[in-house]
């Protein structure tokens, strides 16, 4: 019989899996966080760094930069859902070999509309490889100019689509920034992407990694998070069936790893878990439905449309408000707009979060809580 779980219990399990509950956080550094949650959404690089921060207290922003550029234990590139993520360098090879073809096929029509039919795209990726072999890190405009000199002209959205294609093919990834501008490098020059896996091995491993970071969850959630077709997600569930236990999350079936069974004996309410999630945080992107996490009447305040995802105040796994940072010469103001009044214990947790955020950013911070509503 499946173990019944209330919504509150499901959220406690999600917090634990996501390394957002301090008493359960096992990650001890940047690369460990990124690997533990199987990638951090990273189209906004600053927000991605804050997503790492919220899962491992005591870090500073330069720790993330060091992991990316000096240690190269993580890499920022296109992966799940065909979007930019921070990925553990040792996982990149098998992840791209498995997921890359899915998103390459999905983008084929759009590339053709932009003048990158299959033949032109293949020629452009080959030329891009040669350029980077010759010249090392290059910024986007340098790539565009040098490809044009070779007879390959890219206009408008063809530029990011070509870079994304080359990244999903496992040829390039973003390298060190030049000022505020990213450069691109050959993956083979930049990191060791780790050992290859067969598609079947990769599918099973990705499903296990997903559940390690998002359980309890269902195949539909896995498909939404990964960008895989639902049939492929269900095949992954069948493949790892002997490693799963079933629970009832509300009225719907969901699954956890057998290795997480002991979590079900530790569901007593903890002190309020208060977290300042940055924009685009992976916690809000890991499930098909966010209704348990974010009340539908407040959804537009966090997901206003146009692909935007704003920073969220999280209390015990639920979004209880929005927040933002105002920078000033002497430091930063952390401005929180709760959806409803916050209790004194939540306020204490919020103050602790702001202290850690100030430490991470290396700037004194002042907390300002606006009137609820």
Looking at 138, 163, 190, the residue that finishes a domain is 190
Low-confidence ranges of the chain (pLDDT < 50): none
Q: Would 22 be classed as within a structural domain?
A: no
Looking at the fold, whether 70 and 182 belong to one and the same domain comes out as yes
Alpha-carbon torsion (306, 311, 313, 318), positive or negative:
positive
Torsion sign over Cα 181, 187, 192, 194: positive
88 shares its domain with 168: yes
Question: Within a domain: residue 333?
Answer: yes
Q: Final residue of a domain: which of 190, 214, 242? A: 190
Residues 117, 50 share a domain: yes
Residue percentage of the chain with pLDDT more than 70: 98
Pairing, β 138-139 against β 181-186: antiparallel
Same-domain status, 155 and 44: yes
Tell me, yes or no, whether 23 lies in a domain. Answer: no
Q: Are residues 169 and 89 in the same domain?
A: yes
Residue 153 lies in a domain: yes
pLDDT of residue 24: 61
Beginning with the edge strand found earlier in the chain, give each strand of the sheet holding 312-315 in spatial order: 274-277, 312-315, 318-328, 331-338, 365-369
Q: Name which of 168, 163, 154 is nearest 183 in CA terms.
A: 163
Q: Do 304 and 281 fall within a single domain?
A: yes
- Lookup: tokens for 299: 């959804």
116: domain range? 30-190
Q: Tell whether 154 and 66 lie within a shared domain.
A: yes
Together in a domain, 338 and 245:
no
pLDDT at res. 26:
64
Q: Are residues 280 and 350 in the same domain?
A: yes
- Would you say residue 347 lies in a domain? yes
* Token couple for 272: 């309020």
25 assigned to some structural domain: no
What pLDDT is recorded for position 304?
95
Give per-residue pLDDT as tens, 227-272.
999 999 999 999 999 999 999 998 899 999 999 999 998 887 778 9
For residues 69 and 169, state if they share a domain. yes
**Global pTM?**
0.95
Question: Is residue 24, in this structure, part of any structural domain at all?
Answer: no
Same-domain pairing of 216 and 173: no
Q: Please indicate, yes or no, if residue 224 is contained in any of the structural domains.
A: yes
- pLDDT number for residue 180: 85
Same domain, 150 and 227: no
- CATH code where residue 202 lies: 1.10.10.10
**Domain count of the chain?**
3
Among 220, 243, 265, give the residue marking a domain's end: 265
Token digits for 193? 């992407």
């Amino acid at each position: 019989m499946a173990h019944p779980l209330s919504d509150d219990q499901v959220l406690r399990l999600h917090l634990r899996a996501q390394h957002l509950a301090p008493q359960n956080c096992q990650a001890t550094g940047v690369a460990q966080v990124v690997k533990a949650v199987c990638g951090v959404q990273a189209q906004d690089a600053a927000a991605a760094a804050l997503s790492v921060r919220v899962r491992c207290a005591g870090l500073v922003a330069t720790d993330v930069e060091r992991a990316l550029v000096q240690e190269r234990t993580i890499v920022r590139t296109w992966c799940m859902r065909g979007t930019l993520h921070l990925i553990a360098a040792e996982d990149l090879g098998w992840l791209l070999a498995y997921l890359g073809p899915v998103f390459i096929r999905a983008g084929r029509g759009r590339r053709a509309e932009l003048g990158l039919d299959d033949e032109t795209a293949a020629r452009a990726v080959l030329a891009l490889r040669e350029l980077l072999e010759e010249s090392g890190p290059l910024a986007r405009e340098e790539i565009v100019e040098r490809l044009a000199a070779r007879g390959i002209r890219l206009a408008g959205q063809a530029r990011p689509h070509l870079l994304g294609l080359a990244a999903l093919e496992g040829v390039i990834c973003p390298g060190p920034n030049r000022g505020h501008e990213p450069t691109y490098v050959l993956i083979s020059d930049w990191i060791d992407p780790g050992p290859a896996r067969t598609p079947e091995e990769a599918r099973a491993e990705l499903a296990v990694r997903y559940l390690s970071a998002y359980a309890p969850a269902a195949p539909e959630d896995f498909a939404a998070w990964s960008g895989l077709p639902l049939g492929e997600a269900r095949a992954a569930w069948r493949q790892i069936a002997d490693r799963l236990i079933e629970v009832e999350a509300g009225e719907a079936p969901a699954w956890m790893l057998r290795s997480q069974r002991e979590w079900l004996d530790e569901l007593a309410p903890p002190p309020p878990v208060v977290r300042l999630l940055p924009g685009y945080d992976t916690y809000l992107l890991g499930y098909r439905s966010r209704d348990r996490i974010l009340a539908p009447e407040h959804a537009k305040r966090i997901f206003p449309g146009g692909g935007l995802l704003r920073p969220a105040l999280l209390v015990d796994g639920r979004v209880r408000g929005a927040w933002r940072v105002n920078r000033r010469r002497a430091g930063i103001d952390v401005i929180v707009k709760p959806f409803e009044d916050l209790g004194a214990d939540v306020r204490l947790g919020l103050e602790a979060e702001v202290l850690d955020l100030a430490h991470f950013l290396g700037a004194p911070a002042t907390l300002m809580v606006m009137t609820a509503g």
